[in-house]
Amino acid sequence: MDRTLVIVKPDGVERGLAGEIVSRLERRNLRLVAAELRTITKELAETHYAEHAERPFFGDLVAFITRSPSLVMVVEGPRDTFAMVRLMMGATNPAEAAPGTIRGEYATQTTENLVHGSDSHESAAREIALFFPEL
Ligand code: IDP
Ligand code: MG
């Protein structure tokens, strides 16, 4: 089986959309391996998003992702699970996210786009180890 990291970001938990997002993953037949509601620390956010450290929005991104609890999950499917989840999420900018995707149905702004999903097998392994070192 193949695993990826999924995060319902603070805006998703605040808006009561965590259940909807988990439901979509489960209805797809992706299985929850781990799930924890936690407030991501500044240190963990900076490590997780290190690839964006030089971008102008980095400070806002870290402030956003740490402002209230996120639902952090490991999700398992038969293969290329990260790619299935990314398609279900929709484009990073909700203005470009297809109808039917999570961002295309429920989000309007790139800054608050509800959900994170690892973008490759390598990112999935790195991010799972970062958030769930016991796995
Ligand atoms: P992804 O979440 O679809 O993988 P990334 O490019 O990895 O998108 O960006 C990480 C997160 O940073 C996005 O989900 C979004 O919350 C935020 N972000 C990305 N680009 C911008 C931007 O241009 N302005 C503000 N926030 C951004
Ligand atoms: Mg990304």
Question: What percent of the chain is predicted at pLDDT more than 90?
Answer: 100
112 lines ligand 1 (CB under 6 A): no
Read off the pLDDT of residues 4-29 as tens digits, 9 standing for 90 and up: 999 999 999 999 999 999 999 999 99
pLDDT at 16: 98
List per-block mean pLDDT (blocks of 10 residues) for the chain, which spans 135 residues. 98 98 98 98 98 98 98 98 98 98 98 98 98 96
Beta strands 2-8 and 70-77, pairing class: antiparallel
57 lines ligand 1 (CB under 6 A): yes
Q: Which DSSP string do the residues of 6-66 spell out, in sequence order?
A: EEE-HHHHHTT-HHHHHHHHHHTT-EEEEEEEE---HHHHHHHTGGGTTSTTHHHHHHHHT
pLDDT at 123: 98
pLDDT at 58: 98
72's enclosing H/E stretch is strand 70-77
| Cα→Cα distances 38→16, 41, 73, 134, Å | 15, 9, 11, 16
In the beta sheet, which residues pair with residue 73?
6, 35
pLDDT at 1: 96
How far, in Å, is the centroid of ligand 2 from the Cα of 122? 12
82's enclosing H/E stretch is helix 81-89
CB-CB contact of 82 with 11 (8 Å): no
